[in-house]
Structure 1
């Protein structure tokens, strides 16, 4: 039996004045990532199927974009370690949507590093809202 070592879960949410399907459609298109997550990717290229190569210059990594539109799911995860990445959920919130971003960190991650990453996530949520509501 393998031991289970949970990581640290961090979740942020933001209300969006748009239909949930509109938010999912926006997030589901990886070509929009540089618009809402420029710290993560300024360059994105399609590799094959749902695999994309992203980077901010010389460094590049492969991501997998998993989408289940009926459930409001858009996950942007490592193609090599799909349990690492951004797990997004879009829920109906009255006449708009609630956008939820969750990330998981190894239990021993420096709390300041987690805080810094979650500040980036807060900016990303606001950027998605601005893009979708525009």
Structure 2
């Protein structure tokens, strides 16, 4: 509910990049704290940041994906953005699954999967920050 006000005040790009940074912080916290710290610290606390980050990412990413399109194709452009978000999630899950394939022990698998999520999140963060080098509204 706050995203339209945030983008009006700070810009769509700034909110999107902030979301990526907050999301990455959530992944880092999950990895550093670890699953063996218990549910509240190892899962619930980092999920606060992951939820806020995702909330800051989804709307501005869709807006960026349909920016500059005509009214006739705006719906199709929004569908393409959604499709690529789904494909990205599937590819990311496949990558992480390949990285933990063959490991034994649920806690070892979870910790390694979280490590690879951090790696991917850092790559996305660097790419998002690189957006600032271009000219945006």
TM-score by shorter chain over 0.5:
no
TM-score for the superposition, normalised by structure 2: 0.27
State which structure, 1 or 2, has the greater radius of gyration over its C-alpha atoms: 2
Which has the larger share of helix?
Answer: 2
More strand by share: 1
Normalised to the residue count of structure 1, the TM-score between the two structures is 0.27
